[in-house]
Structure 1
Amino acid sequence: MNFEFFIAKRIIGAKSYKSSISATIIKIAILAIALGLIMMLIAIATGLGLQNKIREKVAAFNGHIQISTYDNNNSQVSINPIARDQDFYPKFKDIEGIAHVQAIANKGGVIRTEETFEGIVLKGVGSDYDWNHMKEFLREGRLPNFSGKLNAEVMISSYMANRLLISVGDKVNAFFPKEDPEKLPNQLRLEVVGIYDSGFKDFDETYVFGDIRQVQRMNRWEEDQIGSFEVFLEDFDSLEEKGAEIYLKTLSTLDAQTISDKYYHIFEWVKLFDYNVAIIIAVMILVGGINMITALLVLILEKTQMIGILKAMGSSNASIRKIFLYNASYLIAIGLFWGNLIGLGAIWLQGKYNFLKFPNPEQYYVTDIPVHITIWHVLFLNVGVLFLCILMLLLPSYIISRIAPSKAIRFA
């Protein structure tokens, strides 16, 4: 055990140290570190949780990457069909990290009841559709089943169900225009078998999930013609990389568009969360560091006699500074321990029970406040706080070099 660590340990363990005039200031400094870490952990967890949840919701309705024809169509409706028989369907063979590929076709129309009507986009899906992304949004009824014969089962949003005054089991009339506007529109008698609620109003007020064969029939497409492909990735962080790879691997007549490009405004807004979290972390570290500087200065003033004696015995200024920096590191570690215990505990409870909710969920697209944090975030945050706080303490620790042994001992 080195000399500086030994002296710091004796100071920490001394009863007089715990009952000294600096005890209250030290407790405040520890509390500041703990509260700061709690705030930083919660900021990171909620920021990442909200980012992930919004990304998941956008991907659930669109996939991570959409493959469609090149055209000037900026709507959600499928106009020009593409062949289902592609080298990458039903699975990419040359690109790793692709979780699933599914075929869809969209058709714009109107649902009409005796009381009111609503414009919709009928999202036609088939037996290859992965419902796992939509299961968590299901609120009533069941998911449609399109593995058998052509049917009229649909799943609508709770937003639309409330506006149309319909529920699970009801049958409604839907009208879809033909290419020739002078002809009567196609009419379908749809049966509501499920109601979903994603909290994403942009999608909830638009999409009705139905059988892709209904869209093919109304558009007079062949069985092997679909509107577009939705590609799901195993890792969202590889979105741009995989998007470029898929673009190069598909036919020149097809376009591959990532959801970050298609919904640019949403993902740019999501990126702002990182900036907000960085501001919170910077402010909390600054507040905690200032409190530790105050505690260190009080400790130095309180131990002036000891400093004078150590200098008289031959200890260097650097050696004595180490003693107080060891002491400060111990206090920071206590604050980090309690901060981690309380912060991670609160995050775990929120993740399990979702007791905290947004007062205005329509602005954040989620009702419950989502949380997500990894062990690496916790480790980097703790190491970063410890390092930066000690770095901030280096400058005030140089006050030790200004303490003269003769005056310090005589003062005592």
Structure 2
Amino acid sequence: MNTELFIAKRIYRGDKKNEKRVSSPAIKIAISGIALGLAIMLAAVCIIIGFKKEIREKVIGFGSHIQITSFDSNSSYEHHPISFSDTLKNRLLSNPKIARVQKFITKPGIIKTDEDFLGIVLKGISDDYDWQFFKKNLIEGAIINPNDTSGINRAIISQNIANKLHLKLGDHFTTYFVQEPVRARRFTVTGIYETNFEDYDKLYVLTEAKILSGLNDWEDDMVSGVEVLVKEYNQLDQTAQDLFFEMSNYQDRFGNRLYTRSIKDINPMIFNWLNLLDMNVWVILILMILVSGFTMISGLLIIILERTNMIGMLKSMGARDFSIRKVFLYLSAFLIGQGMLWGNVMGLTFCILQKEFNILRLDPATYYLSAVPIDLNPWYVILLNVGTLIVSLIMMIAPSYLVAKITPAKSIRFE
């Protein structure tokens, strides 16, 4: 039988006659410190990871993981055309890390209504486009159906643009394109989306690639660029690097060398900002673990002082210091476990309620989101619990050495 564990259980639970269960105010505060610390850590990790995931998905939704364009293209939205052949498509899809390849055309224009005008960028998409992101953020209308034979120039605009130009579903607007000669096209609003990512919402209008191709007098295989979606986000950097060297040696039928950039290269400010959030997580974790650990240290010291008579009795019967220390370490584990149980209940309850009901709201103009995001990943919950338990127990080792300072002769008379 594990004697130390048996004694620790008796101290923790007490008995029905004389012994009282561990219940001093300091111990309750220590347990509450562990519970509150773990709850805050769970909430902080789930919120920060959820925030990073939501922002990242919005940026990728507009620009994919990797973009391949011509080396001759500049930083404007009027790209130098490249040839998107079946050979290039098959070559990209042969890479096991790539999930999808889709072509696009972008062209800047000016929307003119009876009362207002606004500069925008039209993004022309084809029947190979992945609509998953815009389906999620579509608030009115429908996505562009490539098999539609209505003959109208369909456009999906953002709620931001709709509000500025006083447009609604089914309305028509004219877009002017600054080129030689200046051209204009009339579009019909067939969908309205809202991502709350203002930098893009105020800019992009989705339409069919063939409309923009006709404006540019391009041939069927000519596009502004190719968007590549990878299977795993953590493979993005390596895949982009591999494609950069592969595509820089590739030439299309016009002799263009292809330039590869990941979404991180295209939007370095946003991704550097998201990376800084990791530091916030670590600061919160370290502070909460330290606070929780110190409250448990004070609680353990109080327990040792309360049990001075017992320690003296055990020593007088031949118990070693190491054995008595194990008793109090087992007891610390019980108390930490109790605090962690309540911490998980509080933290997970908050995360689930926020995820389901969006109780805490945000200003989309400032945070790009309408509510506090939650990413409830079970692996993070398990790692936080294991890490909290290990670190807290390690912090209990030092105060347990106080047992060695207690002598049987004095401790038995201790009141």
* TM-score bin (small chain): over 0.9
CA distance in 2, matches of 1:226, 1:72: 12
Question: C-alpha root-mean-square deviation of aligned residues, in Å?
Answer: 1.6
2:67 corresponds to 1:63: no
CA distance in 1, matches of 2:313, 2:19: 18
Q: CA deviation at 1:121?
A: 0.3
Change (3 A) 1:17 1:146: farther
Residue of structure 1 equivalent to 2:24: 23
CA distance in 2, matches of 1:142, 1:50: 27
Q: After the TM superposition, which residues 62-211 of structure 1 pair with which residues of structure 2 at under 5 Å, given as runs?
A: 62-71=63-72, 73-75=74-76, 77-89=77-89, 92-148=92-148, 151-178=152-179, 180=180, 183=181, 185-211=182-208
The answer (yes or no) to whether the contact 2:12–2:21 under 8 Å persists in 1 is no
Residue of structure 1 equivalent to 2:410: 407
Residue of structure 2 equivalent to 1:322: 326
Q: CA deviation at 1:86?
A: 4.7
Q: After the TM superposition, which residues 213-362 of structure 1 pair with which residues of structure 2 at under 5 Å, given as runs?
A: 213-252=210-249, 253-358=257-362, 360-362=363-365
Q: TM-score normalised to the size of structure 2?
A: 0.94
CA distance in 1, matches of 2:8, 2:72: 72
Q: TM-score normalised to the size of structure 1?
A: 0.95
The answer (yes or no) to whether the contact 1:151–1:211 under 8 Å persists in 2 is no
User: What amino acid sits opposite 1:255 in the alignment?
Assistant: Y
Point out the more displaced range, 293-302 or 10-19: 10-19
Deviations 1:179-227 (A, max 9, x none): x3xx3x1110100011111111110010000111111111110011111
User: What amino acid sits opposite 2:237 in the alignment?
Assistant: E
CA distance in 2, matches of 1:19, 1:389: 22
User: What amino acid sits opposite 1:312 in the alignment?
Assistant: S
User: What amino acid sits opposite 1:44 in the alignment?
Assistant: V
User: What amino acid sits opposite 1:261 in the alignment?
Assistant: D
Deviations 1:348-399 (A, max 9, x none): 22222222211x2222211121111322211111111111111111111111
The answer (yes or no) to whether the contact 2:73–2:80 under 8 Å persists in 1 is no
CA distance in 1, matches of 2:87, 2:78: 21
Change (3 A) 1:18 1:284: farther
Residue of structure 2 equivalent to 1:376: 379
Tell me the secondary structure at the aligned position of residue 92 of structure 1.
helix
CA distance in 2, matches of 1:340, 1:18: 27
User: What amino acid sits opposite 1:177 in the alignment?
Assistant: V
Unpaired runs of at least 5, structure 1: none
Residue of structure 1 equivalent to 2:254: none
Unpaired runs of at least 5, structure 2: 250-256
User: What amino acid sits opposite 2:215 in the alignment?
Assistant: M
Deviations 1:33-81 (A, max 9, x none): 1111110000000111011111100011000000111025112x13311
User: What amino acid sits opposite 1:117 in the alignment?
Assistant: F
2:12 corresponds to 1:12: yes
Q: How many residues align?
A: 405
User: What amino acid sits opposite 1:187 in the alignment?
Assistant: A
Point out the more displaced range, 270-279 or 145-154: 145-154
Tell me the secondary structure at the aligned position of residue 411 of structure 1.
coil
Q: CA deviation at 1:98?
A: 1.7
Q: CA deviation at 1:99?
A: 1.8
Point out the more displaced range, 101-110 or 136-145: 136-145
The answer (yes or no) to whether the contact 1:91–1:100 under 8 Å persists in 2 is no
Q: CA deviation at 1:17?
A: 5.5
Residue of structure 1 equivalent to 2:253: none
CA distance in 2, matches of 1:364, 1:237: 24
CA distance in 1, matches of 2:229, 2:322: 58
Residue of structure 2 equivalent to 1:40: 41
CA distance in 1, matches of 2:203, 2:98: 28
Tell me the secondary structure at the aligned position of residue 110 of structure 2.
strand
User: What amino acid sits opposite 1:95 in the alignment?
Assistant: N
Change (3 A) 1:23 1:324: same
CA distance in 1, matches of 2:390, 2:174: 66
CA distance in 2, matches of 1:167, 1:411: 83
Identity %: 40
CA distance in 1, matches of 2:90, 2:144: 21
Tell me the secondary structure at the aligned position of residue 154 of structure 1.
strand
Residue of structure 2 equivalent to 1:391: 394
Change (3 A) 1:244 1:86: farther
User: What amino acid sits opposite 1:352 in the alignment?
Assistant: E
Point out the more displaced range, 257-266 or 334-343: 334-343
Q: CA deviation at 1:148?
A: 4.4
CA distance in 2, matches of 1:314, 1:308: 10
